[in-house]
Chain A
Amino acid sequence: MDKNDREVLLKVEHLCQYFGPTKAVDDVSFEIHKGEVLGLVGESGCGKTTTGRSIIGLYDITSGNIYFKGQRIGAGTMSYKNAIQEAREEKKNCQDAARIKELDEIISRNQKELKEAKGLKKKVDKKLITQIQMIFQDPIASLDPRMTVKEIIAEGLIIQGEKNKAVIDEKVLKMLDMVGLVPEHAGRYPHEFSGGQKQRVGVARAVIMEPELIIADEPVSALDVSIQAQVINLLNELREKLGLTLLFIAHDLSVVKYFSDRIGVMYFGHMVELAPSDELFLNPLHPYTRSLLSAIPLPDPEYERKRKRIVYNPLAEHDYSVDKPTFREVKPGHFVSCNQAEYEKYMKILR
């Protein structure tokens, strides 16, 4: 598919999310086109969940911009603050009048941006934000045990100001039907359901807001194998029926490969490779991606005995002491984080 014919639904630019000294997400950029599924993979603690939560606004982002349907819905302040500080430092020791003028301009521009970013939270269209919904990993912890299924599913609608009981009821029942539950389930409490059914409730809660983008944070990793397949099939059906766009976060690469159009690989807060899924599995370039792919277990004893896991050691693989890596496109749609020397090497491999 050609990415140019498609509307960009979500755009993440230089997203940084720091918690104190911990850089959970550091300079991550990507786009999600309408109707596609972008998979995010990486080991635990690599920042994939944090990325999802930052997009939906559960955290105030440190730096970077997030655009949804062309409108800015999240902005960080750190990059502006840093720019102002740098300019001020330079101004102190600067004698050149032209340069001082330039610096003043930089400061005032950044101050304006900073003010805008700070005020963004109040200005963002609340209705727009509800078009992004999230499905959480743990179906047990993410449902309030004291609410009935109907209350859980309808909560978002009520918060958005829907007062008509008949409309709410109708919508809830429609949702229950859509996710494969029956109307009798509406009055029950979460503990009366099995794991797969709970996750269906979680899906219904997200889908009732008629979202355009769903962030699914490990929606099947807590489920049994047979139930996993049910939920994956459900998400696939909904995707076709409603034309949903998904950011699919998971660590099970077989599931991600099956479900996603494009896959982004994250490592320690950085996006190291982003490519269409077939391309990624055919031509993995970044050493971390190779190591990740070599770790996938497959249900075949003979293959498993032959499989050798590739170990990734960033210190041994890269020499970034002089030339820092950037995110470059090595092939249309295939991005890798690399420096110039590595870029040339990758191009040679691709040829």
Chain B
Amino acid sequence: MEKKLAVRGLTISFRTTNGRVHAVRNIDFDLMKGETLAIVGESGSGKSVTSKAILGILAGNAIIEGGEIIYDGKDLLKISEEDFHKIRGDKIAMIFQDPMSSLNPIVRIGKQLTEAMILKGKARQRENRHNFNTTLGHLNKAMIEAIAPHDSAKAAELTKMCKDFDHFESKHISLESAYNVAHEAALEASEEIEALNFELEKKGAKDIPYRTSQIAAYVKHSFHEYMVRDRKAEAEKLLEGISSLTNTKKFGDDLPALRERLVKLGEIENEALALEKPDFMAMGYCLTFGNEALPSLPVHDLNTYMEEKMNREFMDHFMECTEKAMQHAADVSNAEKEKAIEALRNGRHVFANEKLEHGACEAAIRPMEEAVEKTINKLDLIKDSLAYTFGPGMKADTKKYFDSIKKNEKERKRYAREKKRYDAKTAKGKTLDYVVVPAAITDLDMVQSDLVHQIDRLEEHFTDALAKRDQRDFHKEAQDMVEYLQHSASGAVNHVTKRLAKSRAIKLMSEVGIPEPRKRYTQYPFEFSGGMRQRIVIAIALAADPDILICDEPTTALDVTIQSQILELINDLKARRNLSIIFITHDLGVVANMADRIAVMYAGKIVEYGTSEEIFYHSAHPYTWALLSSMPDLDTKEALDAIPGTPPDMLYPPEGDAFAARNKYAMQIDFEQQPPMFKITDTHYAATWLLHPDAPKIDPPKVITDRIERMRKKNQGGVING
């Protein structure tokens, strides 16, 4: 599975008047493509801070003490605000906890929904065009290098082939988008007709004239060569009949007549929707380069004919060349990797020294960075994030190291001075209402080991890649490449108009369960209830079609049915758009269905993580047990196992396990030493001394085991909700 996001050693604290609040303390996790990672914990456990760090919206007093967040080959903690604009909202979107404060009170809902679509639509079009052009350019160059390095005539031929591909691909997209508009309109018409028919049957229909006019508009947009063509005249006649019916003043007696016409119209649209879709890529090719007109055949036969023609004349050759080019690029990159490993080995000793020297370090970084940069294969669709981040990461850490030497000295002096003054005052018997802010000293050894670790990790990564060089399937990669090019091309051609944005917004609104979306579209946020507002917020987050969706307690403010609907919606969207989701919540019950993996956070640390089954059926950390047993389910009768006390003050994080003070299974060592992450299975880890071989064996609380047993019986019996 492709790794979408990697968080390593993230440590964040907040500067406050009372001192430093250690909000997040050295956490690691990965997010794979198309999976949901749930982060569960109480308020103040640092789960929201983590998500805000990923989105780059931490408060001004936050200090990122260490770690990295890698997305798409970039470290999000180190990129500029300018670069972040391209990621925030577009690639990584967020649904906030409080729907009251995340909407603009003086802008209509419709505008707020479409704003991002229109703005991002333009930016995305530019970006896609750029992607298409550069990737095709790289491909072309690689082709020439691979097939005809010294033959200029052959090279020109290859360049022409790439240009031809560009040419007919744009024809393909414009044909397809026209078809899509008609198809979408037909779909909407059919849905609307069905809804109206149903309500007419139940005698509960409202706004009939308005809705029929909407239907008429959809039907008219669905007229297309490959959608509604043969029965166009009939549909037009039906529409006329409907409008003459609804336009009369005394309307209301002719409902059966109206229904009859609607049913017929629905039939026409459904029939059109059932038609086979032509292969527009092949059609684009035939229309651009085929010198004769298209033969008049049924769509199915036409597709086979066109496909054959395209493959024979162009595509087979193109794919072959692409495959060769990609193989060549990979070979070049591998050769460079061997050199880079050498360079890394040469440079490593400079950083492994007892004491670092500024000049030597900078001099050592340069050749390493250059060697690593050369290994980057521009034709790789999955970017090699370690290679991309190596140079900037090394430079930033070196800078941090040498800056900290001076800063540490200053901090120490300040602390000594203030402490002296404080002690002098308290010695006189005063009770002071402030505390001395402890010195913020950067651990130089840690920074240095980080530097060495970066080099070692990259070397290992390269060695790995070289070992696996023969396992790559270039035929498959070439197909992916063509698919990627088509995807970028469609992004570049399809632009978002206001009309399109509105219809999409209305669709989104009904998707997130807002009744009468057309009426709601022009209303202001204050006209919505809390639950409805949250739906709007979700719709806005989805409007830009993001890669990663961060949900920060999205259903905490909603009631059960709506919560269930929203969770289903998020699951559905995840499957359909292959989204990666970070789902933050304090309610374990909510994530049972949502999460593929769960990380339980307490006091700024991940205390346990594993797959959903592992956390619910085989949890190992006392805090997870406490969370699971403190909430009632439908069969709970006895008193709840409440967790005593409150979470610790993160100004002074406890020495050992942070949960020790509230933990009834705590041992002496829990108060003294922080437990490491013990591995239970390949995917399941927990940080508790109970897993140490010397620890006494403690079973999970009876409440949990009983529940698991009970649910197992229920599941086998297949009885759900009585």
Residues of chain A whose beta carbon lies under 8 Å from any beta carbon of chain B: 41-45, 194-197, 224-230, 232-233, 236, 251-255, 257-259, 281-284, 290-309, 312, 315-316, 319, 321
Contact = CB atoms under 8 A, between A and B. Distances in A.
B668 interface: no
B339 to A, nearest CB: 48
B712 to A, nearest CB: 8
B202 A297 contact: no
Contacts of B714: 303
Nearest to A252: B560
A300 B616 contact: yes
Contacts of A306: 715, 718, 720
A120 to B, nearest CB: 32
B561 A226 contact: no
A196 B616 CA distance: 26
A232 B631 CA distance: 10
Those 8 A-B pairs whose CB atoms lie nearest each other, nearest first:
A304-B593, A258-B632, A295-B564, A251-B559, A229-B642, A226-B643, A229-B630, A229-B640
Contacts of A295: 560-561, 563-565
Contact of A292 (B561, B587, B593, B616): B561
A321 B203 contact: yes
B708 interface: yes
B636 interface: yes
A194 B631 contact: no
Given A295-B564, A299-B631, A307-B593, A315 B722 contact: no
Interface residues of B, number: 58
A224 B559 contact: no
A297 B720 CA distance: 12
B530 interface: yes
30 contacts: A41-B560, A195-B43, A196-B646, A224-B586, A225-B588, A225-B631, A226-B42, A226-B626, A232-B632, A232-B640, A254-B589, A257-B634, A258-B637, A284-B722, A291-B561, A292-B561, A295-B563, A295-B564, A297-B589, A297-B590, A298-B633, A299-B628, A300-B592, A300-B711, A301-B617, A302-B715, A303-B714, A304-B592, A306-B715, A315-B198
A50 to B, nearest CB: 13
A37 to B, nearest CB: 14
Contacts of B531: 43-45
Contacts of B715: 300, 302-303, 306
Contacts of A292: 560-561
Nearest to B637: A258
Contact of B562 (A44, A293, A298, A315): A44
Given A257-B632, A304-B593, A229 B43 contact: no
Nearest to A305: B593
Residue of B203, B562, B616 with highest tally of chain A CB at under 10 A: B616
Given A225-B627, A315-B199, A300 B564 contact: no
Given A297-B592, A300-B711, A251 B642 contact: no
Contact of A309 (B565, B613, B630, B722): B565
Contact of B634 (A227, A298, A315): A298
Nearest to B711: A300
A227 B640 CA distance: 11
Given A44-B562, A45-B531, A283 B612 contact: no
A297 B563 CA distance: 9
Contact of A294 (B43, B562, B642, B721): B721
Contacts of B589: 254, 297-299
Contacts of A236: 639
A292 B616 CA distance: 24
Given A298-B589, A315-B204, 15 more contacts: A43-B559, A44-B530, A44-B558, A228-B630, A229-B630, A233-B642, A254-B634, A258-B636, A296-B560, A296-B721, A299-B633, A301-B612, A305-B593, A309-B568, A316-B202
A254 B633 contact: yes
Contacts of A227: 42, 646
Contacts of A226: 42, 626-627, 630, 642-643
Nearest to B708: A300
B437 interface: no
A258 B203 CA distance: 41
Contact of A224 (B42, B593, B712): B42
B561 A230 contact: no
